[in-house]
Structure 1
Amino acid sequence: MAAYQLRIYTINRGMMDSWLGVFNGHIRPLHERLGIPVVSSYVNADRTEFIWVRRFDSADDIASKEAAYFASPERSALGDRPTSHIAKMEVRVMDGVEATAGVA
């Protein structure tokens, strides 16, 4: 069963536009190339939180996929650019739930 990561990042004040450039220009494409689809991403109204969801084939795949991401030359080339934007990071692993007939 698929597993998802809900990732909530508190972005340093005034850095959201810069973060979105790094995310959309580098992080999201690299995730897609490595088989870690980004299901959705959001910015809250006051523009201090960036919320996104990644999908994995199973919870067992998370560690190996993350290791491949951090070991990639593309991620290494970014250096501390991603982390320099982030004041706080929360990560929650969630299991997918199959649709159930008759549930309101």
Structure 2
Amino acid sequence: MTVQLRRYEIEPGRMADFLEWFPTLLPVREHFGFQVLFALAEEEHSTFTWAVSLDGDEAAFREVEERYTASPERARVFETFPDCVAGKEIGFARSVV
């Protein structure tokens, strides 16, 4: 299993907009085989952190992510995206406990 950790800086005052939109993304991710492990909003610092996993190695993850990113299903979900992410950090992570 490969885990991708995603941390977003949300524009001040826009967390509610993002949190309203975010659940619409999950069925599309799941359709492509991804599993959301957790999603946490830290409103005090306007950050949103979540982890998504996929069975297989990092190369397989990247391949599926490319198909997901180019899909019409994802494009439809992003038609309503509130465009409030000011910055992001995305990388692969592993458990250390």
TM-score range, shorter chain: 0.7 to 0.9
Over the matched positions of the two proteins, sequence identity in percent amounts to 28
What is the CA distance between 1:96 and its match in structure 2?
Answer: 4.7
Q: Where does residue 85 of structure 2 map in the other structure?
A: 86
The letter of the residue matching 1:22 is W
Q: What is the aligned partner in structure 2 of residue 5 from structure 1? A: 4
Q: Give 2:38's aligned residue.
A: 40
For the 8 Å contact 1:3–1:96, the answer to whether it is kept is no
Using structure 1 for the length normalisation, give the TM-score: 0.79
Unmatched segments (≥5 aa) in structure 2: none
3-state SS of 1:46 partner: helix
- Separation of aligned partners in 1, 2:19 and 2:45: 11
Rg larger for:
1
Supply the AA of the counterpart residue of 1:74: E
Query: What is the RMSD computed on CA atoms of the aligned residues?
Result: 1.9
Q: Is the 8 A contact 2:3 2:54 kept in 1?
A: yes
Aligned length: 95
Name structure 1 gaps, 5 residues minimum. Answer: 100-104
